Amino acid sequence: MMSSIKIFSLLSVLSLLFSCASATKQQGSADITIFSFNDFHGNLQAEQPVPYMAPVHDAHGHAGAPTAAGGYAYFASMLKQRRAAVGPSILVGAGDLMGASPIASAMLRDEPVIAALNQLGLSVTALGNHEFDAGGAALQAKLAGVCPANGCAFPGFSGAKYDYIAANVINKSDGQTWVKPYVIRQVGEFKVAFIGALTSDTPNLVAGDGVKDLQFEEEANTINRYVPEIQRQGVAAIVLLIHEGASYQGAANDASYACEGLQGPIIAISKKLDKAISLVVSGHTHQGYTCKIDGRLLVQARSYGAYLTETTLTIDRSSQQVIKAVASNHLIEQSKLSADPEAQQLLTQVASLTAMVRTRPVTRLSAALTRASEPGQFDSSLGNVIADAQLKFAKSVGNADFAMMNAGGIRSDLALGKQGQPAEINYGDIYAVQPFGNTLISMRLNGEQILALLQQQWQGGSKAAPKKLFVSDGFSYRWKFGAEPANMLQDVRLHGQPLDIQKQYTVVVNSFLADGGDGFTVFRQGTERRVLGRDLEAFEHYMHAQGADLTGLKTDRVQRLD
């Protein structure tokens, strides 16, 4: 029998070896995974109104044919696959996860969207401007699961199990942040901080009084203000979730992280950020990219659940610092995934609750109506048709000279069927085009004010990519590419007659524009305002009456001069 002394000695040796192995392990590094997405906009149903066609690039960055992508059930399936393939992970968002939603979500007040995000295990997301579509008070009530007097729209709804964060949204009344500025989460063996922010341009992007009691501070300095406080809490990594982004024409994954041609506000913001922030998860611009700005990783997952971003942070255990960051955007390609059964069950319930209204027939469409402009053109077929619909509606209830429609208010195309066959368009389809519930407003503006409005299309943005106002039939002008805004407009006419800068005209726009939305502040000067009715009502009436006889299909109202 082994003596007690020998047993004690053996145990001591084993204990020493175990301690040495543990010390070696602790001196190494470990990976954690940050899954992220943005601008989901309540697109639960993959087919509403048609599948989102995501741009696809090959390994060399060359563009190929778009593919049907996104949809909650397919997104959930990909997320489960990737979670099973990695170690410790967390799912986060960069804003606009709801709002400007298709009819199936919007009819149920986006309650099923929150339920779906709970089901996904979302931990935290930044606020986006579209979260404020119904106003701040309505948002907070919804997140808390507080139902209206007539009850919740989605059975069993109980609010959000995840956090919304934003460091730069401040209550004007007391100077305090409107929601938490940041949260700290345990991811595996490490504490990770997530700071939230959204574009300071939000007051120009939200209709009516939705944010009148809130102040949106400059992003970078406000974010940096919280870094020392966070660092004192012993975190190993700091991640920024921000609803602001960049435009980009390249592939969703860039192996070099160079992202040549990337442009937008997030670049300047990133360059000002504290070096302690290791990762910037961006949104707002509906682009897909994996880039590095001054060595810091910047990602975005396009929109509508078409991509899932997977970022791996390698953290040194000894220093508790991020020593490496890599990212990849996974395409949620419907043809290569199976719908997740649990997610599909939620979708079936949503479809059943909304079917009667959603499937109401409107018209039969023989030509596609799209938001995009033809090469070398300014206006679009869908933008023109909406402006025509608003003018016709205004004339049916009073008087109007012309109508204008903002490009940002058009959220979906009206496509044809398979192989270009005519499509049966229902109420759900047109709702997806104009989901905001705006009213139509007529107002009086003189010719000089109208010229100033048109010039505002090129203010605060790129000369090559202006903030477009589509105009109704009979209104036309030409614009000179490369000129300054004040010298851009030429030959502005209404029904063939030059615009008279002294004359008063009756203009019809949606309520968002009437309040100066999208930076078109001249609309606030309009007088003799009159509420005419709902924009979607005007669109439905026009589409039902006109059928295939749509004057807006010819996109030559605004012509470019080189």
- Would you say the C-alpha torsion 395, 398, 404, 410 has a positive or negative sign? negative
403 φ/ψ angles, rounded to the nearest 5 degrees:
-125, 155
Up-side HSE of residue 517: CA atoms within 13 Å toward CB?
25
Output DSSP code: residue 49.
S
Say if residue 392 is in the same domain as residue 534: yes
**Cα distance between residue 456 and residue 518, in whole Å:** 10
Residue 521: CB atoms within 10 Å: 15
Residues 6+ apart with CB under 8 A from 260: 250
Per-residue tens of pLDDT for the chain, all 562 residues? 455 555 445 545 445 544 444 444 457 999 999 999 999 999 998 775 567 888 888 766 777 888 989 999 999 999 999 999 999 999 999 999 999 998 999 999 999 999 999 999 999 999 999 999 989 999 999 999 998 888 999 999 999 999 999 999 999 999 999 999 999 999 999 999 999 999 999 998 887 678 999 999 999 999 999 999 999 999 999 999 999 999 998 999 999 999 999 999 999 999 999 999 999 999 999 999 999 999 999 999 999 999 999 999 999 999 999 999 999 999 999 999 999 999 999 999 999 999 999 999 999 988 889 998 877 678 899 999 999 999 999 999 989 999 999 999 999 999 888 778 888 999 999 999 999 989 999 999 999 999 999 999 988 766 667 889 999 999 999 988 878 877 889 999 999 999 999 999 999 999 999 999 999 999 999 999 999 999 999 999 999 998 767 766 778 899 988 7
Q: Which two tokens stand for residue 60?
A: 């060399």
pLDDT of res. 290: 98
Q: Which of residues 348, 373, 408 is at a domain's end?
A: 348
Decide if 7 is inside a domain. Answer: no
Going by C-alpha positions, the residue among 36, 15, 17, 12 that lies closest to residue 313 is: 36
Say if residue 321 is in the same domain as residue 461: no
Decide if 550 is inside a domain. Answer: yes
Decide if 412 is inside a domain. Answer: yes
Say if residue 258 is in the same domain as residue 200: yes
Which domain range does residue 330 map to? 26-348
Say if residue 289 is in the same domain as residue 384: no
pLDDT of res. 21: 46
Burial string for 387-402 (b: 16+ CB within 10 Å, else e) reads: bbbbbbbbeeeeebbb
**Cα distance between residue 124 and residue 422, in whole Å:** 43
**Cα distance between residue 113 and residue 21, in whole Å:** 47
Say if residue 456 is in the same domain as residue 314: no
Residue 258: CB atoms within 10 Å: 11
Distances in whole angstroms, Cα of residue 253 to Cα of each of 266, 331, 513: 18, 10, 36
Decide if 21 is inside a domain. Answer: no
Give Rg (Cα) of the chain.
26
- Maximal CA-CA distance, the chain: 113
Distances in whole angstroms, Cα of residue 537 to Cα of each of 423, 457, 464: 20, 27, 33
Place of tokens 């960055």: 61
Say if residue 431 is in the same domain as residue 495: yes
**Cα distance between residue 38 and residue 307, in whole Å:** 9
Report the CATH number that the domain containing residue 184 is assigned in CATH.
3.60.21.10
- Beta-bridged to residue 35, according to DSSP, are 91, 310
Output DSSP code: residue 334.
G
pTM value is 0.85
Assess whether the previous peptide bond of 203 is cis (omega < 30° from 0): no
Decide if 366 is inside a domain. Answer: yes
Task: Count up the domains in the chain and report the number.
Answer: 2
pLDDT of res. 6: 52
pLDDT of res. 486: 78
Q: Which two tokens stand for residue 382?
A: 């869908």
Strands 237-243 and 277-281: parallel
- Would you say the C-alpha torsion 366, 372, 377, 383 has a positive or negative sign? positive
Output DSSP code: residue 516.
T
pLDDT of res. 208: 64
Going by C-alpha positions, the residue among 429, 461, 411 that lies closest to residue 99 is: 411
Say if residue 334 is in the same domain as residue 192: yes
Q: Which two tokens stand for residue 391?
A: 């003018």
Q: Which of residues 290, 313, 348 is at a domain's end?
A: 348
Distances in whole angstroms, Cα of residue 455 to Cα of each of 336, 465, 499: 46, 13, 14
Say if residue 477 is in the same domain as residue 542: yes
Residues 6+ apart with CB under 8 A from 309: 34, 35, 36, 37, 281, 290, 299, 300, 301, 327, 328, 329, 330
pLDDT of res. 2: 52
Decide if 19 is inside a domain. Answer: no
pLDDT of res. 462: 62
Q: Which of residues 296, 316, 348 is at a domain's end?
A: 348
Place of tokens 């919007």: 106
Decide if 9 is inside a domain. Answer: no
**Residue-wise DSSP of 239-262:** EEEEE---B--S-S--TT---TT-
Decide if 424 is inside a domain. Answer: yes
Strands 124-126 and 163-165: parallel
361 φ/ψ angles, rounded to the nearest 5 degrees:
-70, 145
Report the CATH number that the domain containing residue 423 is assigned in CATH.
3.90.780.10
Say if residue 229 is in the same domain as residue 284: yes
Say if residue 388 is in the same domain as residue 316: no
Say if residue 313 is in the same domain as residue 462: no
- On whether the CB atoms of residues 69 and 52 are closer than 8 A, the answer is yes
Say if residue 304 is in the same domain as residue 453: no
**Cα distance between residue 289 and residue 262, in whole Å:** 9
